[in-house]
Amino acid sequence: MTKPKIFIACDTTNPKKLNDIINFSQTDKLKIGYKIGLEFFLSPNGRVFLSKLKKKQIFLDLKLNDIPNTCAAAIHSLKDLKKYKKNDTIDVKIIEIKDDKIRFSKRALDKDPLDWFKDNKKKVGDVITTRIHEVLKSGVKVAIDKEKKLIFAIKKSDLAKDASDARPEVFSSGNALDAKITELDLNARRVKLSVKAAQIDEEKSLIAKFGEGATKSGATLKGIFEKAIGKKGKK
């Protein structure tokens, strides 16, 4: 019978601690591997220690796919350094203390753009007015705030209730566009908007207002408008 396999995440840069983890986790009931991160791999004696491990399954999580994003974020965080000089005093926030290292960040003190949703008391189900920032073949990108720090993509299938109207090319940059918040997870930094959902809600609202129960009888929105206009004409 094949032993179950698990990998233990070894979040340390200390070879002694990693060795203790390996020794403590030995068992005949499981086949154990060890996930080693980039920090350990690049630490003093890290690679030497790993080269001496025999008959151990090692998974090196070097996050190569994240490197472009990491570099871009680093460049963005450094762009304001020109206004500082040696011996200046600045405020920073400690974001991690690990082993003998301290990580701090000035950018972490800045206001999170996603706080816009909290500040404006917006939640899932609310309809907000956005501005088209960019038109793509796959949909559009919209800006929520005036500073354009909050830009989100709306995919083609969410651009309109009717598929024939869900064509990005009919939209223009700068145009206002009402969209419904269909997903909002600030911790995961995930926001989803839908014009289609906003249009469906608007249609339901109009039917409820003018239809007098017509939703159950299968009346169309066109018929409801004609009925409402006819009533006003008679008056």
**Encoded tokens for 213:** 């129960």
Q: Which residue ranges in the chain fall short of pLDDT 70? A: 1-4, 63-82, 107, 211-235
pLDDT at 147: 82
Q: What angle do CA 23, 24, 26 make, to 5 degrees?
A: 70
Q: How many CA atoms lie within 13 A of 70 on its CB side?
A: 7
pLDDT at 215: 46
Three-class secondary structure of residue 30 per DSSP: coil
pLDDT at 63: 66
User: What's the pTM?
Assistant: 0.51
Do 150 and 113 contact (CB within 8 A), yes or no? Answer: yes
If one counts every other C-beta atom within 10 angstroms of the C-beta of residue 84, the result is 11
pLDDT at 81: 64
Q: Which class would CATH give 111-235? A: mainly beta
- C-alpha 109/C-alpha 91 separation (Å) is 8
User: How do residues 37-88 score in pLDDT, each as one tens digit?
Assistant: 888 888 888 888 888 888 888 888 876 655 655 565 555 555 666 677 778 7
Three-class secondary structure of residue 61 per DSSP: strand
Q: How far is CA 29 from the centre of its chain?
A: 39
- C-alpha 90/C-alpha 44 separation (Å) is 30
- C-alpha 212/C-alpha 231 separation (Å) is 13
* Domain spans, the chain: 5-64, 111-235
Do 189 and 201 contact (CB within 8 A), yes or no? Answer: no
- C-alpha 220/C-alpha 146 separation (Å) is 38
If one counts every other C-beta atom within 10 angstroms of the C-beta of residue 182, the result is 15
Do 124 and 170 contact (CB within 8 A), yes or no? Answer: no
pLDDT at 192: 94
DSSP E strand stretches across the chain: 5-10, 31-37, 57-61, 93-98, 101-105, 127-136, 139-143, 151-155, 176-185, 190-194
If one counts every other C-beta atom within 10 angstroms of the C-beta of residue 114, the result is 18
